[in-house]
Structure 1
Amino acid sequence: MAIDLKFYPEADDLYRAIPQIKEQLQLNIELAAPSDFIPELPDWQNRCEFITREGSVSFYNYDPYSQALSKIERGHDQDVADVTSMFRDGLLTHEKLLSLFNEIKPHLYKYPAIDPKTFSDAVDQVVRSEIDH
């Protein structure tokens, strides 16, 4: 099993605990978030879903729109399947996904690995495919 983590705000104690947690739980832990791969979406913090609180630490699922756009940009078959599931589970709407994508488009130049046209075409294709279902 693998999990991706982003600490907000950053906390040295949590970083120092990762090796022990990885060993005890036999997890692959990556320090990664969608904003490491695509521009940060406006208001992403308010779309994170609360999971639980343990002591002074709260756990959230990362903003589903950030996850979806990051997966669409990466473009693996499993990523596209994940986004399809997110639509079917009611976590995403076509309008909001397109609106947020259009808001980050002007900032794609900061991510040289991303081809804006290819990314835009992929977003359009996923949305069209979902509308057709």
Structure 2
Amino acid sequence: MRALAKTAPAPTTVYLVGGTTAVLVGWRDTTLYVDMIMRPEHDAMLRAILARKEQLSINVEFAAPDQFIPVPTGWESRSPLVAQYGPLTVRHYDLTAQALAKIERGHVRDLNHVRAMLDAGLVTPDSLRTTYDQAASDLYRYPAVDPVTYRAALDALLAEPVKPPRPAAPESR
């Protein structure tokens, strides 16, 4: 991201998604893809991403929850800050939206990520229900999503008990 920031012609925000968020937050050690989006997009930065991708032998995907499920407006303001590198702001894409996209997809790994997010207090059952309810009226715009199955998956996941967050380890001196 520091290298990418050097190519930013104007203030830009990168939103990290999926496994990238999981690695940075700490519930996964590795990811196969750096999933992200950039707002606004700049050709110079897209070219720099391509060059760094090859240099670092990593996969980069431009993907975000709003490509798969409806996400209520204001997701940008709900996207936690990761870092600031000059004109480049790096954020996690709205964590509740990420969790809902994972629930809709329904893969075992995705559901485990949502459980980890709940256990860590990064999302709450109330935020998942509220955000789902706010976006449900726009599900018709996503014909691949079955609203009944999606809601049932959300309800099933939320019926599971949430583990209390682990206390932070004491700092060593």
**Where on the TM-score scale, by shorter chain, does this alignment land: which range?**
over 0.9
Structure 1 segments unaligned to the other structure (5+ residues):
none
Structure 1 CA distance for aligned equivalents of residues 80 and 152 of structure 2: 28
Contact 2:119 2:162 in 1 (8 A): no
Partner of residue 95 from structure 1, selected from 115, 126, 132: 126
Q: Give the equivalent residue in structure 2 for 1:106.
A: 137
Structure 2 CA distance for aligned equivalents of residues 62 and 46 of structure 1: 10
Contact 2:118 2:162 in 1 (8 A): no
Q: Give the equivalent residue in structure 2 for 1:85.
A: 116
Identity %: 38
Q: If each structure's helix is expressed as a fraction of its own residues, which one has the higher value?
A: 1
Alignment of 1:20-99 (within 5 A): 20-99=51-130
Cα RMSD after superposing both structures: 1.5
2:133 aligned partner, one-letter code: N
Do residues 4 (structure 1) and 54 (structure 2) align? Answer: no
Contact 2:102 2:110 in 1 (8 A): yes
Do residues 116 (structure 1) and 147 (structure 2) align? Answer: yes
Structure 2 CA distance for aligned equivalents of residues 130 and 35 of structure 1: 28
Contact 1:39 1:108 in 2 (8 A): yes
Structure 2 CA distance for aligned equivalents of residues 129 and 70 of structure 1: 18
Contact 1:72 1:123 in 2 (8 A): yes
Task: Give the SS at the match of 2:134.
Answer: helix
Distance apart, 1:132 and its partner CA? 8.8
Task: Give the SS at the match of 1:6.
Answer: strand
Question: How many residue pairs end up in the alignment?
Answer: 133
Q: 1:81 to 1:123 in 2, by over 3 A?
A: same
Question: Which range moved further: 85-94 or 45-54?
Answer: 45-54
Distance apart, 1:131 and its partner CA? 5.2
Would you identify which runs of 4 or more consecutive aligned residues in structure 1 move more than 4 Å?
none
Distance apart, 1:129 and its partner CA? 1.2
TM-score, with length taken from structure 1? 0.93
C-alpha deviations, 1:8-54, integer Å up to 9, x for none? 12222221222101011111000001111111223211111111122
